[in-house]
Amino acid sequence: MRGLAIRAEYALSRAIAEADPADEDAQLSLEIAVLQAEFLGSADWKNEQAALPIMFADEPELLRAWAEGQYRAAMAALEVRQGL
């Protein structure tokens, strides 16, 4: 299932960060999960997969990151086509 590992990492890291806000590893893991969601959005765009991963549907930060990945991949492809 697309996005399952990212969602699981995000949920676990968020729970740890909420329990111990000083836990830098949990904060870093949250940031990594968001970056992975963005990368998945980019990869999905390149594979013509426009459907949102169901695992991100109720997690706004992952949804935003995935959509950002889709956008960045589309803009990069447009720049290549335009010779920029």
Residues 53-76 have pLDDT tens digits of 999 999 999 999 999 999 999 999
pLDDT computed for residue 81 by the predictor: 81
Mean of per-residue pLDDT scores for the chain: 95
For residues 48 and 23, give the distance between their C-alpha atoms in angstroms, rounded to a whole number: 38
Residue 84, pLDDT above cutoff 70: no
HSE-up (13 A, CA, CB side) for residue 41: 23
Closest CA to 1 of 44, 51, 75, 54: 54
| Res. 82 pLDDT band, cuts 50 70 90 | confident
Closest CA to 56 of 46, 68, 66, 48: 66
Domain coordinates of the chain in residue numbers? 4-82
Asked if residue 44 lies in contact with residue 3, where contact means CB atoms within 8 angstroms, the answer is no
Q: What is the pTM of this model?
A: 0.91
Residue appearing with tokens 């909420």: 18
